[in-house]
Structure 1
């Protein structure tokens, strides 16, 4: 039996619903909603994000919003490769990405990787993918590393104007 049967322990719940935390309040979640949206169905995309936050809260037992920010920060690339023809050969030129471009690329990679997962629910797939990034065993991280590796190999071409 409990020591205080009339008193209940207050456990913080991080169950987010469309009412509790509208995703449009947060700029990163707003960006993610717009990338997930298909055929103009923004309400469905917002519901997916709210459910994703709920799944992450259930799996980690902590506030999922900082975890989402950390996962996106880990997945952000700092450069992209652009092809440039000079003479008879094509060269790969590394181009730096600004903050918005790298965030968008990271979110698109996360969505792509989550779509390759086997679960039926998109919100659960996204939650598991975000947690996989934080654990360090996601294909998004290997994609980022590959991008940086190619950029380092071709850094001699960085001075070429596009």
Structure 2
């Protein structure tokens, strides 16, 4: 969602008034929409133990701090920050099969006994690193 576009759920638009560079404070005319979907999402992420009012206060304080630091309307900046930080791809996990944990453990144990498990190579690598670092153990920085 771009910073200048309207919020889809409430049909309203973000405040697009030009604001003087001296200082920006919210007035009754420039308040962000109460049902802004991004702000509600942030409130729900911040909410702990059902304390929604506390989370709403955190978001309101964040908007006030951003307004003080930038001397402009913070809501488009929040939308732009989320747009820049969101992932490009959506990763979705899926099950790889119905093998049980006992079957996987049995296969791994047999692989260790045969000597072709990745666990053994990781163990050897950790041992090499420990051996190299043993020479530096007496040196204190």
Normalization by structure 1: what TM-score?
0.39
Larger Rg: 2
**Which one has the bigger strand percentage?**
1
More helix by share: 1
Q: Taking structure 2 as the reference length, what is the TM-score of the superposition?
A: 0.45
